[in-house]
Amino acid sequence: MISDTGAMQVIETYKLMIYGLVQGVGFRPYIFRLAHTHRLKGWVENRTDGVILMINATHEGVLKFRDEIIHTAPVASAIESIEIVKAGRQEFSSFEIRNSEDISDAVTEISPDIAVCPECLYDMKEQPHRKGYPLINCTHCGPRFSIIRDLPYDRPNTTMAPFDMCPVCRAEYTDVSDRRFHAQPVACNHCGPVYRMESASGQIENIDDILTRVKDIVAGGGLLAVKGTGGFHLTCNAFSEEGVKRLRNMKRRNGKPFALMFRSADEARKFVKINRKEEEVLTSWRRPIVLLRKKRNITKGIADGLSTLGVMLPYMPFHHQLFEHLDTPAVVMTSGNFTDEPILISDEKATRMFADHVDGVISYNREIFNRIDDSVLAVTGKDVMVLRRARAYAPSPIRTGIELEGILGTGAELTSTFCMGKGRQAIMSQYIGDLKNLETLDFYREIYDRFCRMFRFSPNLVVSDLHPDYMSTRFARQLAKEHPNIQHISVQHHHAHIASGMLDAGLEGEVLGFSFDGTGLGSDGHSWGGEVLKADYLNF
């Protein structure tokens, strides 16, 4: 490691190791261009533990280069640290991007999925080979976690592997001056995945014909199943009472509210209040569902009896195309599943299960590998609360400052997730759902196995809820039984919530914690309700 105190201004060879969210966000192309701006020679490559650079520079030059990386990195990246080490002298004739390497059990972060950027929306109207292409993307946007099979993040390790680039896309992919330089999901009308629509009247494959048909269905109060980034949505006109009623009956969902997708924030403002912080979250590259205060009701059956409405904005190219054709300013966008089951991701299964309930199933032939729902957030004052951590947030880690290596938390029974400790990071799974049936439990196990592989995780301590009958507790017991080296401990439900709140607020020592989370098994063997506990991280 070198210091900032200075040294002789001679050209040396330096190794830079960059840790954090630096894969899948256009980081290597960004470094390539920045190195050319600084007239540096060397190379950059992805590794499972981060991004590594070797450059020839002066001491002052490498520090300036580091500082510019910190201040101008891609918007969706998150640099945790940059280490600089003086290496043995090497001569480089140019700067290049090298092939990725899988070198250790240490891993970099995996990029979450990113909403389509304004530049791609422009290209969708202007680029000849991408005009109207509904799966357009670049290094700044598009699918990431939902298509990743393994690290390093390169096309062969994603569900884009079956799609060979055409000569035009290949030229963009290899051109350092192009925004799609090393964009792994790059595609166009000539070589990429395509949309199709299945209905009782047959199959439609032309995107313009699909959009025309969708307009008619939505205007007539019909229902659609539409493949999103991380799974299918069920959608209808938000102002059609008949459509909303059909959707509610289909999902067997009596009271839970539906989320709405509005054409724009300005359209949403006609129905909900949006302050500056809420707009910042709503329009961010993550594009989550945000709970906003109602100005007036929209349609019976959407969010009856509630003062808030779940609102999101278009985040896929297809969503923008959809609203260019629709007359309505908002549609219902709810998870494409039946009550208590995981969101569907298979085109074939969605067509089979939804065919008798909807007027059309719209899909595309790029596989979703990691299913993931829309995230749900709320703003309270200046703070943003993540209520459902999913698309665009998972699987980004939470930095804790506590050594967590090898610890697995299996979560509770309802609105379940699990959490893995990797170094000082807590890596939470995406929202999984209520562990009430075999399908959701299978999803839980599937994601656990995938996270173990992608994050090179091996548990040595598994922590579960105190309740012995929770599926997550049974999973923990089974894991410990199958692997004698894994210790299993149980934690009281309300104490776990308070400890989580302490960590989130950065608190140490003893606190008076209020946990109003409904019932949980108490340490005395009886059911406890909302509890007030004098507690620290270990005891209460």
Has residue 280 been placed in a domain?
yes
Cα–Cα nearest to 350, from 341, 391, 512: 341
Has residue 146 been placed in a domain?
yes
Has residue 169 been placed in a domain?
yes
**Domain end marker among 97, 120, 137:** 97
Number of domains in the chain: 4
Do 185 and 142 share a domain, yes or no? Answer: yes
**Domain end marker among 62, 97, 132:** 97
Do 238 and 359 share a domain, yes or no? Answer: yes
State the pLDDT at residue 3: 47
The tokens for 65 are 């280069």
Do 342 and 393 share a domain, yes or no? Answer: no
Task: Report the Cα 207 to chain-centroid distance in Å.
Answer: 26
Q: How far apart are CA 172 and CA 153, in angstroms?
A: 18
Q: Which residue has the tokens 């894969």?
A: 23
CB 43 within 8 A of CB 8: no
Buried b (16+ CB within 10 A) or exposed e, 155-189: bebbbbeebebbebbeebbeeeebbbbbbbbbbbb
Do 185 and 127 share a domain, yes or no? Answer: yes
Do 167 and 228 share a domain, yes or no? Answer: no
In 382-529, which residue ranges form alpha helices assigned H by DSSP? Answer: 438-454, 471-482, 493-505
CB 312 within 8 A of CB 374: yes
Has residue 540 been placed in a domain?
no
State the pLDDT at residue 447: 97
User: What are the angstrom distances between the C-alpha of 458 and each of 153, 329, 483?
Assistant: 21, 48, 11
User: What are the angstrom distances between the C-alpha of 311 and each of 143, 286, 306, 325, 356?
Assistant: 21, 13, 14, 20, 28
Has residue 201 been placed in a domain?
no
CATH number of the domain bearing residue 91: 3.30.70.100
Do 174 and 301 share a domain, yes or no? Answer: no
Cα–Cα nearest to 112, from 159, 163, 78: 78
Do 334 and 412 share a domain, yes or no? Answer: no
Tens of pLDDT, residue by residue, the chain (540 residues) = 454 555 457 899 999 999 888 877 888 889 998 999 999 999 999 887 789 999 999 999 999 999 999 999 988 888 989 999 999 889 999 999 887 766 556 666 788 999 999 999 999 999 999 999 999 999 999 999 999 998 878 899 999 999 999 999 999 999 878 899 889 999 999 999 999 999 988 999 999 999 999 999 999 999 999 999 999 999 999 999 999 999 999 988 778 899 999 999 999 999 999 999 999 999 999 999 999 999 998 999 999 999 999 999 999 999 999 999 999 999 999 999 987 789 999 999 999 999 999 999 999 999 999 999 999 999 998 899 999 999 999 999 888 888 999 999 999 998 899 999 998 889 999 999 999 888 999 999 999 999 999 999 999 999 999 999 999 999 999 999 999 999 999 999 999 999 999 998 889 999 999 999 878 999 999 999 889 999 999 999
Has residue 102 been placed in a domain?
no
Do 426 and 485 share a domain, yes or no? Answer: yes
Q: How far apart are CA 113 and CA 260, in angstroms?
A: 20
Has residue 207 been placed in a domain?
no
**Domain end marker among 64, 97, 130:** 97
Do 393 and 530 share a domain, yes or no? Answer: yes
Has residue 206 been placed in a domain?
no
State the pLDDT at residue 428: 95
Do 302 and 416 share a domain, yes or no? Answer: no
Do 44 and 181 share a domain, yes or no? Answer: no
End-to-end CA distance of the chain: 43
State the pLDDT at residue 104: 55
In terms of residue numbers, what domain contains 271? 221-364
Q: How far apart are CA 433 and CA 442, in angstroms?
A: 11
Do 357 and 238 share a domain, yes or no? Answer: yes
CATH number of the domain bearing residue 293: 3.90.870.10
